[in-house]
């Protein structure tokens, strides 16, 4: 994975301001970030940036793209033989939040396939 991307994940700070934490479903919820949450957040960053977790592309193997869309965001994982190659996630804008479930899922698949194109673009099928 690109060193700049790894650095961005490692240096990612938790948001301590409720207005920046947009995934919470309930307005007016008291926002607390206990030590246990910070430890879990730090462990997650370490886990997803470790060398063995993210693999290198082997064009002789099949690619697997797994996606999921939620009401407010979507994500996907590109992998080969169970080894993640890349992750993608985004927050949906207000217009895309109005999509039906099927439209969100299709949008997510198309987006992740386009993003993953950099990995298989030069492969001759």
Residue 122 has pLDDT above 80, yes or no: no
Same domain, 49 and 59: no
- Residue 28 Rama label (left phi>0; alpha psi -120 to 50; beta): left
Same domain, 30 and 61: no
Q: What is the per-residue pLDDT across 16-31, written as a single tens digit (0 to 9) for each?
A: 655 555 555 666 666 6
Q: What is the per-residue pLDDT across 79-121, written as a single tens digit (0 to 9) for each?
A: 888 788 888 999 999 999 999 999 999 999 999 999 888 877 7
Same domain, 10 and 43: yes
Q: What is the per-residue pLDDT across 35-62, written as a single tens digit (0 to 9) for each?
A: 998 899 898 888 878 765 667 788 888 8
* Range of the structural domain that residue 13 is part of: 1-53
- For 42, residues 6+ apart whose C-beta sits below 8 A from its C-beta are none
Same domain, 87 and 34: no
Same domain, 99 and 120: yes
Same domain, 45 and 62: no
Same domain, 81 and 117: yes
Same domain, 49 and 2: yes
Q: Is the pTM of this model over 0.85?
A: no
Domain end position, chosen among 53, 70, 93: 53
Same domain, 62 and 102: yes
Cα–Cα distance between 53 and 45 in angstroms, integer? 12
**Helix (H, G, I), strand (E, B), or coil: what is residue 65?**
strand
Cα–Cα distance between 83 and 44 in angstroms, integer? 17
């Amino acid at each position: 994975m690109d060193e700049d991307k790894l650095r961005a994940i490692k240096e990612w700070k938790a948001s301590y301001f409720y207005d920046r934490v947009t995934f919470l479903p309930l307005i007016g919820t008291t926002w607390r970030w206990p030590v246990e949450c910070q430890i879990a957040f730090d462990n997650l960053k370490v886990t997803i940036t470790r060398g063995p977790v993210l693999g290198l592309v082997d064009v002789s193997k099949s690619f697997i793209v797994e996606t999921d869309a939620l009401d407010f965001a979507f994500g996907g994982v590109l992998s080969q033989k169970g080894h993640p190659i890349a992750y993608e996630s985004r927050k949906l804008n207000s217009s895309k939040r109005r999509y039906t479930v099927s439209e969100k899922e299709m949008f997510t698949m198309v987006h992740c396939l386009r993003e993953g194109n950099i990995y298989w673009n030069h492969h001759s099928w």
